[in-house]
């Protein structure tokens, strides 16, 4: 694990080379290898969107307070672990001076001690008698910025209370999806589908709902691999009924969704660019439901996926969006930032001989222009600077009753990550 030095050959300590001798050590096992991480792993199989409840944050802080009681007996026994988490997160600001820190913790010295210890157990000696603790911490931070940044990332990934049931996802037909989270364990246990305003909810406990003789299963298929505050993907609802001789009959409904945490959502009018940048480039993935009324079997649909990217230009206020969907089209649109009505350009159809029913009727020379809508939501960790770290959205294009319709969800991550924190 992380220790208070820049490298193993020439350690740099804030108060001399012997300050940490015989002191506490940071945990030797990575948090992802502990038993408390199993709930997180289970949730990650449903969505990679960040989700931690109070108990999970407390587990992480207890993990970080390795050997605290041994080296600091009877100190801080009544201090709330969530207060330690919030204090440690406060200390992650690399611009804080020793005077800022002293003022902030003037009335809570033990809380400061525990927060610093959680960040790096080896800094316990910063609180020896006669030591300027705030100065000691700042000196270590500034001399070991790589280590400090790594610890900061770990805390931001584990020490913030934010649970998936507070994220709002919207489907292509404007239904609201809300994941269900167990209050005690933090485990995602199901999902609720409702009208956009939350009315007429259907709760799928363990992702299943019994409606009379019909068993309805909800399969939530997140396509998110890297996004923190938002999610996107597709879903499948499977209805199973049994006839008189107990033969099962299945029917399916498909859709796409996108959304995220309202507490981390940035209004499009407030989207800011990092200092020194006139652009932002986002990269990620897309999932699309393609529906057609053509063919001998009536309406049919298929799910396709691929990569996506989005480019925001500050100078002319434009947004360029592209998706490269496997076994279908390349999709492109350019519009003003915040404008939802767009003309999509579809090119390079690669559906194959058996997928021509999903080819646009208006296509000429492997190219089609179809009107539609592009709804983009922006999310970020810092609601003060308004720089988005990621975006999700839904794109829809429809040729009409005799053509092809596309409903696409997408999620993309800002490439200029160092300017967002």
- Is the distance from CB of 166 to CB of 182 less than 8 angstroms? no
- In this structure, are residues 257 and 235 in contact, taking their beta carbons and an 8 Å threshold? yes
- 88-102, 354-368, 397-411: lowest mean pLDDT where? 354-368
Beta carbons of 179 and 230 less than 8 angstroms apart: no
Q: What are phi and psi of 202, to 5 degrees?
A: -120, 120
- If residue 288 lies in a helix (H) or strand (E), which one and from where to where? strand 279-292
* CA 324 vs CA 32, 59, 201, 321: distances in Å: 34, 42, 35, 10
Residue 17 reports pLDDT greater than 70: no
pLDDT value at residue 259: 98
Residues forming a β-bridge with 188: 181
Which of 206-215, 254-263, 344-353 bottoms out in mean pLDDT, i.e. has the lowest? Answer: 344-353
The DSSP output letter for 351 is -
pLDDT of residue 19: 43
Residue 58 has what DSSP assignment?
Answer: H
**What one-character DSSP code corresponds to residue 213?**
T
- 262, 51, 263: which is closest to 168 by C-alpha? 262
Q: Please, are residues 4 and 26 in contact by the beta-carbon 8 Å criterion?
A: no
Residue holding tokens 């660019």?
273
pLDDT number for residue 247: 81
Beta pairing partners, 181:
188
* pLDDT at residue 421, as a whole number: 59
Decide if pLDDT at 392 tops 70.
Answer: yes
Report the chain's mean pLDDT, rounded to a whole number: 90
Mean pLDDT over 362-376 rounds to 94
Q: What is the mean pLDDT of residues 342-352?
A: 89
Q: Is a pLDDT exceeding 60 seen at residue 21?
A: no
pLDDT at 239 over 70: yes
Query: What confidence score (pLDDT) does residue 312 get?
Result: 97
* Mean of pLDDT values over 353-357: 73
Token pair recorded at residue 21: 């001798």
- The pLDDT assigned to 224 comes to 86
Report helix, strand or coil for 421.
Answer: coil
* Per-residue pLDDT, 417: 66
How much is the pLDDT for 418?
56
Are the CB atoms for 69 and 217 separated by under 8 Å?
A: no
Give the pLDDT score at 12. Answer: 35
Q: Please say whether the beta carbons of 168 and 260 come within 8 A.
A: yes
DSSP SS3 for 237? strand
Closest C-alpha to 229, from 390, 101, 106: 390
Q: How many helices (H) and strands (E) does the chain have?
A: 8, 17
What is the length of the chain? 421
- Span 69-92, pLDDT tens digits: 999 998 888 999 999 999 999 999
Q: What is the reported pLDDT for 39? A: 94
Confidence of residue 378 (pLDDT cuts 50, 70, 90): very high
Tokens of 144: 């070991």
Confidence of residue 419 (pLDDT cuts 50, 70, 90): low
Residues β-bridged to residue 345: 332, 369
Angle between helices 81-91 and 54-64 (to 10 degrees): 70
* Proportion of the chain above pLDDT 70, given as a percent: 92
DSSP for 113-150?
A: HHHHHHH-GGGGGGGSTT--HHHHHHHHHHH-HHHHHH
- Rounded Cα distance between 126 and 112, Å, is 11
Indicate whether 14 pLDDT > 70: no
How does pLDDT run across 285-321, given as a tens digit for each residue? Answer: 999 999 998 766 768 899 999 999 999 999 999 999 9
CA distance linking residue 16 with residue 24, whole number of Å: 17
Report the alpha-carbon distance of residue 40 to residue 46 in Å, rounded: 10
Kind of pairing, strands 248-261 and 404-414?
A: unpaired
Q: Return the higher-pLDDT residue of 295 and 179.
A: 179
Backbone torsions φ then ψ of 406, nearest 5 degrees? -115, 130
Query: pLDDT tens across 86-129, in order?
Result: 999 999 999 999 999 999 999 999 999 999 999 999 999 999 98
Q: Assess contact for 412 and 282: CB atoms under 8 A.
A: yes
pLDDT value of position 1: 32
Residue 349 has pLDDT above 60, yes or no: yes
Q: Quick one: pLDDT at residue 420?
A: 63
Domains delineated in the chain? 31-158 (no CATH), 208-419 (2.40.160.90)
What confidence tier does 353 reach under pLDDT thresholds 50, 70, 90?
Answer: low
193-216, pLDDT tens digit by residue? 999 999 999 999 999 998 888 899
pLDDT for 85 equals: 98
The answer to whether residues 384 and 371 touch, using CB atoms and an 8 Å cutoff, is no
Instruction: Tell me the chain's radius of gyration from C-alpha atoms.
Output: 26
Cβ-count burial 184-201 (b if 16+ within 10 Å, e if not)? eebbbbbbbbeeeeeeee
Q: Is 101 helix (H, G, I), strand (E, B) or coil?
A: helix
User: 3-class DSSP state for residue 204?
Assistant: strand
């Amino acid at each position: 694990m992380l220790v208070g030095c820049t490298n193993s050959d020439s350690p740099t300590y804030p108060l001399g080379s012997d300050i940490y001798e015989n002191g506490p050590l940071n945990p030797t096992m990575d948090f992802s290898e502990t038993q408390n991480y199993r709930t997180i792993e289970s949730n990650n199989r449903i969505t990679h969107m960040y989700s931690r409840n109070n108990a999970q944050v407390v587990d992480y802080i207890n993990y970080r307070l390795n050997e605290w009681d041994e080296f600091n007996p009877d100190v801080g026994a009544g201090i709330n672990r969530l207060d330690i988490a919030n204090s440690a997160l406060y200390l992650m600001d690399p611009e804080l001076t020793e005077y800022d820190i002293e003022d902030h913790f003037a009335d809570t010295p033990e809380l400061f001690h525990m927060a610093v210890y959680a960040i790096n157990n080896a800094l316990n000696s910063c609180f020896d008698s006669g030591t300027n603790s705030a100065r000691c911490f700042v000196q270590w931070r500034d001399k070991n910025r790589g280590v400090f940044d790594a610890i900061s990332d770990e805390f931001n990934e584990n020490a913030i209370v934010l649970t998936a049931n507070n994220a709002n996802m919207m489907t292509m037909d404007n239904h609201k999806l809300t994941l269900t989270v167990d209050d005690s364990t933090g485990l995602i246990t199901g999902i609720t589908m409702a009208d956009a305003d939350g009315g007429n909810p259907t709760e799928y406990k363990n992702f299943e709902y019994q409606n009379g003789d019909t068993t309805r299963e909800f399969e939530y298929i997140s396509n998110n691999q890297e996004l923190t505050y938002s999610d996107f993907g597709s879903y499948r609802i499977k209805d199973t009924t049994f006839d008189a001789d107990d033969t099962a009959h299945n029917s399916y409904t498909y859709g796409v969704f996108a959304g995220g945490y309202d507490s981390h959502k940035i209004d499009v009018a407030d989207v800011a660019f990092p200092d020194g940048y006139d652009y932002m480039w986002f990269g990620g993935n897309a999932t699309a439901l393609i529906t057609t009324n053509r063919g001998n079997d009536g309406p049919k649909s298929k799910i396709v996926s691929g990569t996506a990217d989005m480019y925001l230009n500050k100078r002319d206020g434009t947004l360029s969006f592209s998706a490269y969907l496997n076994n279908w089209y390349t999709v492109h649109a350019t519009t003003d930032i915040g404008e939802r009505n767009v003309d999509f350009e579809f090119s390079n159809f690669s559906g194959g001989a058996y997928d021509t029913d999903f080819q646009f009727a208006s296509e000429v020379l492997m190219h089609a222009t179809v009107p539609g809508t592009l709804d983009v939501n922006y999310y970020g960790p810092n609601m003060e600077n308004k720089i988005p770290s990621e975006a999700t959205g839904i794109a829809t294009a429809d040729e009409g009753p005799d053509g092809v319709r596309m409903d696409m969800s997408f999620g993309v991550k800002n490439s200029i990550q160092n300017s967002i924190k």
